[in-house]
Amino acid sequence: MNFNRRQLNLWGIPQVEETIVPAMPYMGSKRKLANKILNAIYRTIGDFDRLYDLFGGGGAMSVAALRAGHEVFYNEKNQSVAELLRHIQSGGKLPDKWVTREEYKEKISGNDWFAGFLLCCWSFGQKYGSYLFGTDIEQLKRLAHNIVVDHNTDALQELNLLLNCELSMPKNRFEFKEKIITITANRFDLEQLERLEQLERLQQLESLQQLESLQQLESLNISCGDYDKINIKGNSAIYCDPPYADTEKYNDGGFDSGAFWQWCRDNTNPVFISEYKAPKDFLIIAEFEHRSTLSSTNNAKITVEKLFWNGVKNK
């Protein structure tokens, strides 16, 4: 269901169903947490008219708030990512062709929507300059893509020769995955098998395609710039998902955490911040345990992410 408008619970507090929301694949995506975060905000300040998603990234919080019936302002400093969201909003077509390593290197540094598409769908961990596939598995991934997306019989024949098997043309990537597991289970160790069977780029493309079908996206306000330059209207909630301390750094360089926290203190609007830690004068209103995707050393660890609040309520 695309529509998830908020309703009042028994205590008169707005709430939404805590489902996973469509979003662009992006570092630190909140697609699994967005509705939980939104409900935590409702429990803290009640209802409000507008949500400002000032570090918009993949847009999960913007989508959750749109589906809840709010006026939403999405802001993202990375121009190519903001342009990708505008491209999707305007009904622009998303390419499903295979992008070579050479084309990736040539176009990833641009500021247009295609560079944003490459960052979200063709970059390992959404890192600039890090092509999605290693050279050791690039050929297998290309063949899998050409089989599942293009139904290319030459690619199927090449894969059969490479794996010494007799795969038939699959109906979709799920059927292909099952066939690969069956055929290769006794030939590869677990790590190699997982790398072979996963079709990461197709999964990411499907996430973008879910956004294409989201009608509420038409009303989204999109901007590209610094968080502290956005004009905030009254009766609003501000949500911030800034670069986390001690985690994988974002692509546009350093981030002045001290200035950010002071901006939150000085703001006359309620500000909510997703982080692992915050200055002592910020209140913890929710905690979410999940698997980290931002650790620079261990992406499999379970971590607790907190939602902080500057203590301000709308008048």
Task: Give residue-wise pLDDT tens across range 25-56.
Answer: 888 889 999 999 999 999 999 999 999 999 99
For the segment 124-150, the average pLDDT, to the nearest whole number, is: 84
pLDDT at residue number 297: 45
Measured CA to CA, the distance from residue 310 to residue 273 in angstroms comes to 8
Among 162-171, 178-187, 221-230, top mean pLDDT goes to 221-230
Confidence of residue 302 (pLDDT cuts 50, 70, 90): confident
Query: Is residue 270 pLDDT above 90, yes or no?
Result: yes
Q: How many CB atoms lie within 10 A of CB 31?
A: 22
What is the secondary structure of 92-126 as a DSSP string? PPPP-SPPPHHHHHHHTT-SSHHHHHHHHHSBGGG
The residue extents of the domains of the chain are 130-207
Q: How many CB atoms lie within 10 A of CB 172?
A: 9
Terminal Cα-to-Cα distance of the chain (whole angstroms)? 34
Are residues 184 and 196 in contact, defined by beta-carbon separation less than 8 angstroms?
A: yes
Query: Is residue 209 pLDDT above 80, yes or no?
Result: no
Question: Which residue would you say has higher pLDDT here, 298 or 130?
Answer: 130
pLDDT at residue number 301: 67
Query: Is residue 180 pLDDT above 60, yes or no?
Result: yes
pLDDT at residue number 135: 86
Measured CA to CA, the distance from residue 73 to residue 52 in angstroms comes to 5
pTM strictly above 0.75: yes
> Which pLDDT tens digit goes with each residue over 233-245?
999 999 999 987 6
Confidence of residue 149 (pLDDT cuts 50, 70, 90): confident
In whole numbers, what is the pLDDT of the chain averaged over residues? 85
Least confident of 21-35, 134-148, 167-181, 211-225: 167-181
> Which pLDDT tens digit goes with each residue over 48-79?
999 999 999 999 999 999 999 999 999 999 99
